[in-house]
Amino acid sequence: MTRLIAGLLAVALLALGLTGWQWKVAKDDLSSAQRIIGTLSAGIESRDKAIARLDADAKASQKREAELRLMQGRASTAALNREMQIQRETDANPILRDWSAADLPDDVIRLHARPAFASARDYLDWVSARDKLPGAGKQP
């Protein structure tokens, strides 16, 4: 009978030891999981702050864009009104109408004519190769 009690006691101690070991493993797993949860929560909080900041930036950008579009519309309207006023004044004054319908002088056309440039170097070469301006009082 003592052997039976000793055997049961040994089994009980073994079960108790196994349960204690499982408890320690479970406690370590729980601690590890809590650390991971804390890290992930911090990451989520950081992400949420970044999303909120980006959302605020996007709203501010949309507001600025709307203001710029409004300003652009006003500028376009003002330019159109100015162009219509110039056209009315030109149509009302025969001298101004004849002057604006006339061709530009050849020298002015030459000053406005320039080739298409692919680079700044092309422009510098073109400027350097052009005829130099005559001195003051000299005819070209």
Model confidence pLDDT, tens digit, residues 17-73: 899 899 999 999 999 999 999 999 999 999 999 999 999 999 999 999 999 999 999
Conformation bin of residue 137: beta by default, left when phi > 0, alpha when psi is -120 to 50: left
- Residue 127: the pLDDT is 78
Cα–Cα–Cα angle for 19, 22, 13, nearest 5°?
Answer: 25
State yes or no: pLDDT of 81 exceeds 90.
yes
Is the pLDDT confidence value at 136 over 70? Answer: no
Query: How would you class 48 by CB atoms within 10 Å of its CB: exposed for 0-12, middle for 13-18, buried for 19 or more?
Result: exposed
Domain boundaries, the chain: 40-129
Contact 126, 117 (CB under 8 A): yes
Q: 50-54, 57-61, 90-94, 130-134 — which is least confidently predicted?
A: 130-134
In angstroms, what CA-CA distances link 40 with 32, 33, 54, 100, 128?
12, 10, 21, 73, 66
